[in-house]
C-alpha cells in the first residue's frame, strides 16, 4: 500500500511539472520539462527513503545531458543510500573529471573511499575540499575521523612491533623495530584532535559530538600504550 501511494505522488509531481513549468517559464523546451520531471520524481523518491527507485529517474534525466553535475551528484547520493558504493565511486570520479574543484564531490568521494577502507585517499580528498572551503566544520570532523582511524591502524602495527620485541633476535619471525611507526601513530592522533578542535571552533553546536570523539580517541590511545607495554614486557620466546 505504501508503494502504491508513492507511485501516485510521483505521477502527480510529474504531471504538475508539465502543467506549472510552461505557465511560469514558457521558453522551457519539452526536453527540459521531461528532464525536470524525472529529477523531481527522483528527488521525491529520495525524500521518501526510496533511493533505489530514484536512480533510474536520474539516469533518464542524465540521458538528456550527461554532463549535468547537479544531477550526477543527486545520483551519487542515491547510490550511496542504496548501498551501491562502487557505483557511487564511478559517479563522483566522473563529476571530478568535469570539475576537479567541486567541493561536494570531493567530500562525497572521500566518504566513498572511507567506506572502502582507503583512509589515506579519503584524507586527501577531505583536505582538497577544505582548501576550497576551510570553514566547513563537518569536513573537519570527517578529516579527524580519517586521521583517528589511521592512528588506530598504526597502533596495531605498533602492537606487532612490541610483540616482536619480546622475541629473541635469532628466533623465527623476528623483525627489527621501525622507530618511525610510533611517530606516525602519534602524528595521526594529534592531527585528529586538532581537526576536531577546529571543527568545534567553527561550529560550537557540534562540541558534544566532537568532544566525545576526542575523549574516546584519548582513551583508545591510552589503552593502546598500556597494551604495548604489556606486549613488550611479555616473556621472550
Residue 126 lies in a domain: no
Burial 79-99 (b: 16+ CB within 10 A, else e): bbbbebeebbbebbebbbeee
Q: 60 CB contacts (<8 Å, ≥6 apart)?
A: 38
- 237 residues of the chain, pLDDT tens digit each: 455 445 444 544 444 444 444 444 455 556 677 888 889 889 988 988 889 999 999 999 999 888 899 999 999 999 999 999 889 999 999 999 999 999 999 999 999 899 889 999 999 999 999 999 999 999 999 999 999 888 887 776 655 555 555 555 555 555 555 555 445 556 888 899 899 999 999 999 988 888 887 777 677 666 655 555 554 455 554
190 and 217 Cβ atoms separated by less than 8 Å: no
Same domain? 62 vs 141: no
As a whole number of angstroms, the distance between CA 117 and CA 100 comes to 22
Give whole-number Cα distances, 234 to 46, 164, 168, 228, in Å. 55, 10, 12, 10
Q: 35 CB contacts (<8 Å, ≥6 apart)?
A: 61, 64, 65
Give me the number of domains the chain comprises.
Answer: 2
Residue 123 lies in a domain: no
Domain residues for the domain of 178 are: 137-233
| Cβ atoms within 10 Å of 70's Cβ, excluding its own | 12
Residue 119 lies in a domain: no
Same domain? 229 vs 145: yes
CATH, residue 64? 1.25.40.10
Amino acid at each position: 500500500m505504501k508503494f502504491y501511494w508513492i507511485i501516485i505522488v510521483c505521477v502527480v509531481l510529474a504531471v504538475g511539472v508539465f502543467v506549472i513549468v510552461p505557465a511560469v517559464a514558457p521558453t522551457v523546451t519539452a526536453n527540459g520539462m521531461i528532464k525536470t520531471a524525472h529529477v523531481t520524481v527522483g528527488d521525491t523518491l529520495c525524500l521518501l527513503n526510496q533511493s533505489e527507485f530514484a536512480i533510474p529517474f536520474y539516469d533518464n534525466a542524465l540521458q538528456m545531458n550527461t554532463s549535468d553535475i547537479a544531477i550526477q551528484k543527486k545520483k551519487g547520493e542515491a547510490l550511496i543510500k542504496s548501498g551501491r558504493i562502487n557505483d557511487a565511486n564511478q559517479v563522483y570520479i566522473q563529476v571530478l573529471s568535469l570539475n576537479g574543484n567541486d567541493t561536494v564531490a570531493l567530500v562525497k568521494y572521500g566518504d566513498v573511499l572511507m567506506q572502502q577502507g582507503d583512509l589515506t585517499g579519503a584524507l586527501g580528498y577531505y583536505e582538497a575540499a577544505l582548501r576550497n572551503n576551510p570553514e566547513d566544520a563537518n569536513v573537519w570532523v570527517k578529516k579527524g575521523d580519517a586521521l583517528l582511524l589511521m592512528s588506530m591502524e598504526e597502533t596495531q602495527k605498533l602492537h606487532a612491533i612490541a610483540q616482536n620485541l619480546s622475541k629473541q633476535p635469532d628466533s623465527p619471525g623476528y623483525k627489527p623495530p621501525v622507530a618511525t611507526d610510533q611517530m606516525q601513530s602519534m602524528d595521526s592522533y594529534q592531527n585528529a584532535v586538532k581537526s576536531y578542535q577546529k571543527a568545534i571552533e567553527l561550529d560550537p553546536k557540534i562540541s558534544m559530538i566532537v568532544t566525545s570523539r576526542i575523549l574516546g580517541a584519548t582513551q583508545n590511545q591510552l589503552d593502546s600504550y598500556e597494551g604495548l607495554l604489556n606486549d613488550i614486557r611479555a616473556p621472550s620466546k
